[in-house]
Structures are given as C-alpha cells and as structure tokens.
Structure 1
Amino acid sequence: MTSEPGEGDDARLSDAQLRALILGRDGQGAARLAFWQAATGGLAAPDAALERQLATDILATMGQVPPERLRARRGPMLARAASALRASAALSPAGLRHAAAPGDVAISHLSHDFNGFFAVESLTLDHRRFDGATLGPVRREVFVACDAVTVLPWDPVRDRVLLVEQMRVGPLARGAANPWQLEAVAGRVDAGETPEQAARREAREEAGLTLGRLVQVAAYYPSPGAVSEFLWSYVAPVDLPDGRAGIHGLAEEAEDIRGHLLPFDKALELVASGEIANAPLILTLFWLAGQRDTLRAALI
C-alpha cells in the first residue's frame, strides 16, 4: 500500500473508513488529504463517527471554500456534522407519508455559497413524484443550521413560566420595528452532547436555572422548506419563586438576555396579542395548556 505525503504523521488515519474516504483510489488523495488537514488544523473530533462525517462535510466544500475559513468555523461545523449523524440515525415513521427509498432523490450538483456560523447551499436535484415519474432537475437553496433545543421553565405550584427576552436579527432583517423577542430558553446542540444536555446547559447560561425533569413536547423541523434546523422542545417543571428572573447570557457569545416571570395565563394573552411571536414558544405554550393539569397532578 502506497502512502500519500503527510499521512504518516496523522494518527486519525488509523481509522480505515476515514482513510478510504480521504485518500480514495482516484489519484486525488494527496489533494484531499492536504485540504482536510488544513481545514481541521490537525485537531481530532470527539469520536470516529463524527470525524468521518466532518471529513465528508469538509471534502464537499473543496474548491469552493478556503480551508482556513473552515478551520475558523470548526465549532459550528462539528455541530452540523453531529446533526447529520443524529438525522441519519433517527427513526423515520412513514405510516401516512411517502416512505423514501434509495434513488428517490438524486443530487446532481451541490454548491457551498456561504460557510460561516451558518451555511447556505444550492442544490440541483431530481426527485420522485407521487405519480411515479421524476421531477427535475430543479434548483433549491437551503439555509444549513445545526440541531437546537428550546425549554420552557414552568412552576407547577405557582402556575407561572419563565420567558427570556433578547434582540433577534431575524426580525431585524425582516424590517420589524421591534426586534426584541419573547422566547423560551433556546440554543444549539453542540457536538458531543444530547438534546437534553443542551437544554440543561442553555437553562444555566440563559436563565441561571438548574433543571431537574424535562418533558419533551415535540421534535420537529420549524421551517423545512428552506432551513435544515431541527428542534427539540421541552417543558421543565421547576421552582420559580419571586425574584428568580434576572439578566443572563454569555459575554463571549455577546448575549444579553433578560428573564421574565409571569402567570401562565398571561403568557397565553401575549400570544393572542401578538407580543409573543416565536413559533417554538407558541407551540410549547399551547401544548402545556392542554397538558398542565395532568402534569401538575403527577408532580404535586
């Protein structure tokens, strides 16, 4: 077996699958190896599966994105690679919808138009139609984001919730007069952690809360027509005495987050008035409206 220049010093290539992915048999192994090593800076991912997925994502950008840009965005890229692994491993029930089969979607071209904290990709694809014919080629653009969580702290004794408020660039970019939003605690799922662990971490960072039980509300794509982001939403029964809300957030992430304690019914009033205009929070509040008596009976 011949070696490519530079591979002998890289312990990561002891993984045979990773080695085959990068070096291949097409004579381009040296170029792929150099690009991958430059993009990763020689740093190893937390586990072998994540290393392979990250390498797949990195090599897909070769010739389109400079390796130093990828290296500077290692954290978001690891999170997106972990999201891809979770997506491929997740159950995909198809009792009513079409059960996807190999070949139902064929991507003929993929371009990486932007790669930063988020990414934007353009795809040219064909896909199976419901009548059995093929639709395409069609061009689609997708905003690529990693998996994320939301968690609504709820006090079952006082029947109050804790909301967080912060300025959001989405409404700002749309042209909203007031870009400050009322939300549930939220954040991305980092590589190496579960959605539940991410929810607990974000509650500490954004609200100063240590959570116990988490009740899953739903797991879903909030905007699948153009965005890859997948959310897990939770309710967290927790003690919320007067004075529990405050100003939190991580300085290194430029966060400025204010907490609000309010009765549950008041939160529903804010949905009706339009002051709460955040989809995951609305979904969670409506779910809790139907479940809180049952939850309270089980908890108190």
Structure 2
Amino acid sequence: MSDLPIFVFGTLCHDALRDVVLGDASAVVAVPACLSDYRTHWVEGQDYPMLVPTPGAQADGLILDGLTDTHRARLDFFEGGFGYDLNEVDVTSGGETRKALRFQPDHDARPGVAWRLSDWADLHAPLWVAAAREAMGYFGRVTGAELAARMPLIRLRAAARVRAEASLPATLRSDMDRSADIDVLATRQPYIDYFAVGEVDLTFRRFNGTMSAPVTRAAFRMGDAVTVLPYDPVADTVLLVEQFRMGPYMRGDPKPWLLEPIAGRVDPGEAVETTARREALEEADLNVTNLHYVSGHYPSPGAVTEFIYAYVAEADLSAKDGTVAGLASEAEDIRSHVISFDHFMQLVETGEVAAGPLVTSAYWLALNRARLRGDA
C-alpha cells in the first residue's frame, strides 16, 4: 500500500502549500485526477474543505507520483496534524482508474457550501502557507499528535505574520528592508508552547551603510491582539477589567492583579473588529456599538512580536460594575469596574493604570471625549 500514489484534494492542490509540505518536490509529478461519488465542500465554520459522499458527483484533485519515503512521511506528518489518516481509494486520471491513497479525517465535521480552490486561495492561502512553513520546521522533531496540539497556535502566529506583511508607513524612518539589509546566519527555537521563543544569529545594516558584527537576538513569538476600552458617552464612564497577570507576577509585583482594557488574540482569518466585539462579550458580558480605532502598535518591540490593535468602543455601561466574566475553558476570572472618566484619568496619573495599551487609549479618549459626547 505504501507504494501507491497519493491522491490529494483541496488545500494540497495549491502549488505553494504543497511545495512547503513536500520540501524538495522536484521529482514529484502532480497529475489531475478525480474521485467519483464525492463532492468537495467547505467544513462549516472552518477555512479548509472536506469530501462529502454525493452519488454521481466527482471531486477534483491531484495524484502525486514519484513520492519518496521522506515525501510520504512529510505528508503524513502535516495531515496528521489535522487528524487525517490514509485510506485506499479508486480515482480516475487520464481516462484510467488507478489505485491511490487519500487522507481521510478520523473525526466528524459538518459540510458547508461547495468549495473551490480559487476561492480558498484568494481568502486563506497566505495564512496556510505561513503556517505550513512553521509546522514543517518541526518535522522529525515532534510527533504528528504533538503537531496537532500545536496547530492552533501555529496558525495564530502565521496570521500575525501575514498581517505584518502590510508594512507600517515609513516617511521618517529609513527605507531599509529585511530582505536586503539583514543577513540571517542561524536560527533556533529553544522553546515552544503557548508562546514560541525564536533565537537568531544575524547581521543588520547600520545607518552608515555597513553591516553590523554578528549578533544573537531572541524574541517571544505570538499572535496579534486587540484591546477595547468601553466608554459610555452619556454617563461619561469607562469600563476597566481586572485580572491576575503572569507578567507582573514573574517580575515580582506584590499585587499582580492588573487594571486593563478588554483584550484578546485575533483568531486566524478573523477581522480585528470582530475580535473586539467577541472579546467584549467574553470578558465583560458587554455588547459594544461604535468602535473607534486608536492605534496599531508594538508594545515591546525589543523582545516581543505582538502587535496590538487598540480601540475605544461605545457601550451602555449601566449595571456592568462588578460583573465577573471570562471563559472557563481558559481559566479566566475577570472583574469589571465601571468608573467616571475623571476617576479613570486619576488612576492613569497615579500609575495604578499600568497597562500600556490602556494608557494609550486613555489619552486618545481624553482628546476625543467631547466629540463622542456631542455625537451621543
């Protein structure tokens, strides 16, 4: 069975993704083929497809010939990360019926609408290719089951890398570029779990035009985040959340419960404004109305990849003071405080508000408060 070609459908029909998964694929031949009595559909609520038994239909795909044992192992590793196993099927290619292996999920999923490769490529291919690059870096180092456990956070980091490609303005800063002005000598990943630590030996272009001496730098790699400061323009109040935080705790802060804005990670494929509204519901049981963009920024660019999209959101904050919310699945225990704007700014001035994105949003609100109250 292991010598049979492999039939792929869906995402692995995308050349760039397949090349990342296979590695050196110069000897692999991809031949158009179809699987009878099946149709390709989106998995409901997901960004990948599934095969649905449909008498008289056919699912288009590719037969991969010329696979080495390494190619097969890489495919099995990647697909295993999504809970897929190989099964033998009959496929049609060039008018002939051939035996092949296909990856079949070991779990149930609900089908959505009919799936097309071009639609998927337009919407999701960059994220998947970025995720595959990190995932395949673990080939030979972790098991498929371990990869499966890591995939949600791999995709979170991949989505951040895709968003990062839309570079920030460069009117004052230099036009130096990572591809032309940084030479990478070696890369390592000494730690990977909820966060990933990346360590790189590199040289970079100096402002006098020369390259620096080799240096070693490390950073926490994580997904992007959204913060939300709810503001009630009628009552002139804000909502702050309080929760236990590991950063202050590890620093030695005797009171590691911090006042913060509502915040959360941007899920892969999710619009940042959708994240803002979702997190307001999860962390404060709050429906927000108008979202006002404050800024996009790196809170600690010397060592952390995190990029934050900060918002002020209008909402009715009556009856929300003292609310305790959060996801039990994430062990969240989050208390809401509804206070006057003046009290809020006093906390900023005394330093009791010590979360950077909240301070940023406080001063944005101070500048725009009169306009928001006038509109309300």
**CA separation in 2, counterparts of 1:245 and 1:210?**
16
Amino acid at match of 2:11: R
Q: CA deviation at 1:50?
A: 2.1
- Tell me the alpha carbon deviations over residues 233-274 of structure 1, each in whole angstroms, 9 at most, x when there is no partner: 000011112445411001111000000010011111112222
Please give the per-residue CA displacement for 1:130-170, whole angstroms capped at 9, x wherever unaligned: 11100132111110110001000001111110000000011
User: Greater CA deviation, 271-280 or 62-71?
Assistant: 62-71
Output the CA distance in 2 between the equivalents of 1:103 and 1:296. Answer: 49
- Asked if residue 146 in structure 1 is aligned to residue 187 in structure 2, the reply is no
| 2:11 matches 1:12 | yes
Identity %: 43
Q: Which has the higher contact order (CA 8 A, sep 6+)?
A: 1
Structure index of larger Rg? 2
Give the TM-score of the pair, scaled to structure 2: 0.73
Higher mean Cα deviation, 158-167 or 271-280? 271-280
Do the aligned partners of 1:144 and 1:229 also contact (CA within 8 Å) in 2?
yes
CA distance in 2, matches of 1:204, 1:270: 25
Q: How many residues align?
A: 296
Q: In the alignment, what sits opposite 1:129?
A: 206
Matching residue of 2:256? 179
Per-residue deviation, residues 180-235 of structure 1 (Å, max 9, x unmatched): 00111001001121111000000000011111110000000000000000000000
Q: Is the 8 A contact 1:163 1:182 kept in 2?
A: yes
Q: Which segments of 5 or more consecutive residues in structure 1 lack a partner in the other structure?
A: none
Letter in 2 for 1:110: T
Determine the C-alpha separation between the residues in 2 that align with 1:107 and 1:36.
26
Tell me how far apart the structure 2 counterparts of residues 182 and 4 of structure 1 sit (CA, whole Å).
60
Task: Tell whether 2:307 aligns with 1:230.
Answer: yes
Mapped pair 1:118 → 2:195: yes
Name the CA shift for 1:211/1:7 in 2 (closer, same or farther; >3 Å).
Answer: farther
Aligned partner of 1:22 in structure 2 is 21
**Which segments of 5 or more consecutive residues in structure 2 lack a partner in the other structure?**
27-67, 85-104, 110-119
Closer/same/farther in 2, CA of residues 6 and 37 from structure 1, 3 Å limit: farther
Residue 272 of structure 2 is aligned to residue 273 of structure 1: no
| Matching of residues 1-300 of structure 1 within 5 Å | 7-9=6-8, 11-23=10-22, 24-25=24-25, 29-42=71-84, 47-88=124-165, 90-101=166-177, 102-297=179-374, 299-300=375-376
**Structure ranking higher in helix proportion:** 1
